[in-house]
Structure 1
Amino acid sequence: MTDIAFAADETVKREIARWMRELGAVRRLAGKTLEAYDRDLRQFLSFLSGHTGGPVSLRTLEELRAADIRAFMAARRAESLGSRSLARVLSALKSFFGFLEREGVLKSEALTTVRTPKIPKSLPKALTVIEARRTIETTQELEERPWIAARDMAVLALCYGSGLRISEALAVTPADLETQALRVTGKGGKVRMVPLIAAVRQAIETYKSLCPFALPRDEPMFRGVRGGPLSPRLIQMRTAQLRGALGLPPSATPHALRHSFATHLLGRGGDLRAIQELLGHASLSTTQVYTAVDTDRLLESYRKAHPRG
């Protein structure tokens, strides 16, 4: 997956290949996560071979000390790697050593005493209801070609009206629209059903009626000017154009519309478990951040409105 070189014997390389197969086939991790885990482990083994002065073997891994891992983490920190990335590195190492232990290959206690770096809480930056609506509707004013304006409106409407990631919106096919709910394929190939409100469905139908290209049932529906699948970069550029036209902050991105979807639902009494399902989050803790967002917005409104705020 990556070209990072490291000195290790064939047994270790074979175990890495088995671990990667398990992550992809059994745990069904997303492609980018697999690449990151593979890269993190290779960087660790490259460091370890230099740290111990020879190729990494299973015995090297079994005799690993917590100090070795801390030395690696310190080296990565010195390369300006942030806490979030360091936490992912540690997660990759724990996953690999956990796999080796489950398979009866070796057992190491080195990772049990290494603490995960503290990650500062980062709250999603949601738009207001008016800002989200204007972001979608203003597209018509910035694009002279009606079918492209309709296309971009439909994509952004899916992000806000259905809470889709930009990659999920661009992967929608005509077949996914054949029921009342929208079938969405998310991270790790997980499929979920999302209600399709009338405004979003109308935006999609308008785009389909204006699109100059044939839209095969099982192929991505949103097309570029030459008829190929639409690139996420074009939607990101459109959103940047909308930010300038509307005076919105840099945080107003396609993904911010997804955050806005969740925040606005929660603010109107939406159930947290239901929002988790709609967003396709594997863990409720990922969705719970929106409770802090909504509370934060409420307190900000209070401070602005109260005479002594």
Structure 2
Amino acid sequence: MTLVPFGGDLLAQSRAWTNLHDDELRRRAVQAAGEKDIPALVSLTTAYLAQQGASGVLTSPRTVEAYQLGARQFLEYATAQALNLLRPHRHDAQGYIGHLLAAGRKPAGVQLKVAAAACLYRALRWAGATDADPFRDAKVPKDRTSGLVKRPPYTEDELADVIEKADVHAKFLLFLTAHAGLRISEALALEWTDLDEAARRIHVRSGKGRKERIVAMSSSLARATRHYRALYGLGGPDHTDGKRTTASSAVFRYASVMTARYHIEKAFGAAGVHFRGFHAGRKYAGTRLLRQVKDFGRVAAHLGHESVDTTRRGYASLAADDLKDDLAGW
């Protein structure tokens, strides 16, 4: 039996399993696990996410893709090692973690792969195929290195050099990530009605976890927004790239993160600056704002973080001598 994942929405993809009678669901899941049918097991994991995941059918496409990739990679390992998926040995899960670490993967990345493999087993239990939970007590070493050290923010000079070489679209996208601190998915989802340059506000409607928030604009971003709107706003000249036209409600012509990355990397290449991803722009926003306001809570709100700890661990830090002026009179 081979189930090929259907390319529709998440709910449609799950129906290949949820439309089955419980006995047939269990039979097919057992068969897929016994045969290590990777497409079928990835499909089962996807169906479980749609039905029992924290966000259900509203799980973001990027999260679904990450879990699908992680499940596939574990299944490839299980196939190569001839593991029994339904009756795993008690050392199998830790062995997989050791394999990933020995291959040079960082603990944070290993944690994501383990989460996907554990989700596969939740899917198998959901289908009634097994009671096994091999990753329940598995241990991944903690990474003590700060996220700012591993993946540092862009510097002021780097951004200035790139902005000088970037086209209008790439320049505006840089302002949104490095000043407003938007995630790339949030920036690409913006519509013209979400931008209020007069009040210097952005309405983010597609934040992580489906949370909306209002983000303040810097003066530079407000000016860039006025310029960009004059060129490509509603009623302006069409500018088409692929499937999207910016004379519609969408702010950007980029239809996907991959397309945006392609164009932004050209600007970085022209400026001679290494592209470290869109998150390095968010980290620039977090670090610069924290050094100005010295309040992790306000910075977390600006970046859309639910926990201040997230901001503290990987997005913003104070200078080592930040307290010297406060301590001067002691």
TM over 0.5: yes
Partner residue of 1:33? 63
The offset of 1:8, in angstroms, is 3.9
Partner residue of 1:305? none
Q: Does 1:268 align with 2:301?
A: no
The offset of 1:86, in angstroms, is 1.8
Q: Does 1:169 align with 2:187?
A: yes
* Structure 1 residues 209 and 252, CA gap change in structure 2 (3 angstroms): same
Partner residue of 2:249? 218
**What SS is found at the alignment partner of 1:91?**
helix
Q: What CA distance in whole angstroms lies between the structure 2 residues aligned with 1:26 and 1:44?
A: 23
- Give the CA RMSD over aligned residues: 4.0
Q: What CA distance in whole angstroms lies between the structure 2 residues aligned with 1:93 and 1:290?
A: 25
The offset of 1:182, in angstroms, is 0.9
The offset of 1:131, in angstroms, is 2.9
Q: What CA distance in whole angstroms lies between the structure 2 residues aligned with 1:134 and 1:11?
A: 48
Alpha-carbon contact 1:161-1:261 (below 8 Å) kept: yes
The offset of 1:205, in angstroms, is 1.2
Alpha-carbon contact 1:239-1:254 (below 8 Å) kept: no
Alpha-carbon contact 2:181-2:303 (below 8 Å) kept: yes
Q: 1:231 aligns with which of 260, 270, 281?
A: 260
Alpha-carbon contact 1:151-1:204 (below 8 Å) kept: no
The offset of 1:163, in angstroms, is 0.8
- Show CA shifts across 1:193-219 (max 9, x none): 212234312211112223442744522
* Structure 1 residues 46 and 178, CA gap change in structure 2 (3 angstroms): same
Q: Does 1:157 align with 2:182?
A: no
Q: Does 1:134 align with 2:160?
A: yes
The offset of 1:262, in angstroms, is 0.8
Q: 1:93 aligns with which of 106, 117, 121?
A: 117
- Show CA shifts across 1:66-96 (max 9, x none): 3112233334445444433322111223334
Partner residue of 2:227? 206
Q: Which moved more, 1:15-24 or 1:33-42?
A: 15-24
Q: What CA distance in whole angstroms lies between the structure 1 residues aligned with 2:98 and 2:78?
A: 13
Partner residue of 1:48? 78
Q: What CA distance in whole angstroms lies between the structure 1 residues aligned with 2:207 and 2:296?
A: 19
* Structure 1 residues 152 and 89, CA gap change in structure 2 (3 angstroms): closer
Structure number with the bigger relative contact order (C-alpha 8 A, sep ≥ 6) is 1
Alpha-carbon contact 1:239-1:253 (below 8 Å) kept: no
Alpha-carbon contact 2:203-2:212 (below 8 Å) kept: yes
**What SS is found at the alignment partner of 2:142?**
coil
Q: Which runs of 5+ in 1 are unaligned?
A: 303-309
Q: Which runs of 5+ in 2 are unaligned?
A: 7-31, 240-245, 326-330
The offset of 1:254, in angstroms, is 4.8
Q: 1:278 aligns with which of 296, 302, 306?
A: 302
Partner residue of 2:203? 183
Give the residue type in structure 2 aligned to 1:176. Answer: D
* Structure 1 residues 296 and 108, CA gap change in structure 2 (3 angstroms): farther
**What SS is found at the alignment partner of 1:112?**
coil
Count of paired positions? 274
* Structure 1 residues 46 and 285, CA gap change in structure 2 (3 angstroms): same
Q: What CA distance in whole angstroms lies between the structure 1 residues aligned with 2:41 and 2:263?
A: 43
Q: 1:72 aligns with which of 96, 102, 121?
A: 96
